[in-house]
Chain A
């Protein structure tokens, strides 16, 4: 990947990575740090990374950075607290996406990761498996479980309406 291709990757994927990190960390500064750290790591290896693999490489790097961040925050005891910072009361907001976002926060981290990669980035099971170091069947199971949980949240909304 040349410098120009690297800079193009910044233009194309920085926003996606930021949203991906923000959904996990729920903290803008931390999400920015993850994006910064991700691109710095990729820059170090940019000569070895093919341009067409840049997106996958970026998301893999970002995922590992997020996992590290979550582990660190869990040790500090701040994870649960931070995790609830952005909570919305679905009873007050009938927007499906808002309810889904609330449901997303209830998912285990790995389920959240795979469903975000699936819905936000459109990755297939094989690509998600590569990014998250899971098997394809594990990815499939996690996505199915996540869908069931998200369905429960939507049905709660239906009951209220």
Chain B
């Protein structure tokens, strides 16, 4: 029996591949393969591993190397990286010059740079979001607040009307306020009430004819004694939250009275611990329900005004309400963290 046969030739062949077959057996194997050419293909098909094939399987990790854009010299090997950096505008002026010089005599390099530069995406501005309005927001106006204010005004006006119709009048007897003595006086200049300063009993009655009259409007001696509202002297008050305005002579032809009014007329005690206020000019305030107040003024024959100031970064909002001689306001308090 031959030493190598179709039943054991694979073992000899494997030993041959691994270099473990001696010369005598190698010669026997080669003779066997030449005698049995039909087995040659099968032998060729046996898998073999080579380092070359391994190298083709392993991916390149060149891209993991860090390139020093400032110090590395531009070459064919790193040109692509520099081309991208050029497209991304990451190169220094020195390197830009070096790259320009490098591609000047290299058409392939120049083409590569051009390809990368044309790889920038450009937005298609014809694609737009058509329904922007649906995304927008609008400031919510608290209608209920204005409605409540309007209702309050109407209620207050109605209450005043009812009060007057019952023969009562808040100021029916008061024609002037004496700021020097801090007291109210009736049309006969009798003291109706006195302020904090107090007044002696001797001062309680003042004769109209005893007072000098130099032709100017005299708070002690009003020349028109009917329906003159309380007039308060501005100098006795500290104006803070509202801007001081000039006294205005207001002639009401229907009621034939003259009113001298300084707005606003609310004292502020500066010595007290009150929140600081910020000046708001009367003209900077606006009437949000002007048609309503105008209508009410016409209806009641009284001056009705409502003005509000919007809140700002420095102060909160405030308001000013006037119904006839009644004035109410709320100053715009300064915001705590505002300078």
Residues of chain A having any CB pair with chain B under 8 Å: 3, 6-7, 10-11, 14-19, 22, 32, 35-36, 39, 43, 96-97, 100-101, 104, 115-116, 118-120, 143-144, 147-148, 150-151, 154-155, 158
* B135 contacts A119, C-beta separation under 8 Å: no
B139's nearest neighbour on chain A, judged by CB, is A3
Residues of chain A within 8 A (CB-CB) of B60 are: none
Residues of chain A within 8 A (CB-CB) of B188 are: none
Beyond contacts A6-B137, A11-B132, A118-B88: 4 other A-B pairs, Cβ-Cβ < 8 A, are A7-B137, A36-B135, A119-B123, A147-B88
* A154 contacts B118, C-beta separation under 8 Å: yes
Bound state CA distance, A115 and B88, in angstroms?
Answer: 11
Q: A10-B132, A14-B135, A155-B115 are in contact. Are A148 and B80 (CB under 8 A)?
A: yes
* A151 contacts B138, C-beta separation under 8 Å: no
Residues of chain A within 8 A (CB-CB) of B101 are: none
Residues of chain A within 8 A (CB-CB) of B120 are: 119
B127 at the interface (CB under 8 A from A): yes
Interface contacts (Cβ under 8 Å), in number, total 72
* B135 contacts A100, C-beta separation under 8 Å: no
* A147 contacts B116, C-beta separation under 8 Å: yes
* B127 contacts A18, C-beta separation under 8 Å: yes
Tell me which of A7, A14, A120, A143 contacts B88 (CB under 8 A): A143
Tell me which of B115, B134, B135, B137 contacts A154 (CB under 8 A): B115
Bound state CA distance, A7 and B124, in angstroms?
Answer: 23
Bound state CA distance, A142 and B132, in angstroms?
Answer: 33
Bound state CA distance, A122 and B231, in angstroms?
Answer: 68
Tell me the residues in window 245-290 of chain B with beta carbons closer than 8 Å to chain A beta carbons.
Answer: none
B180 at the interface (CB under 8 A from A): no
Tell me which of A14, A43, A97, A147 contacts B129 (CB under 8 A): A14
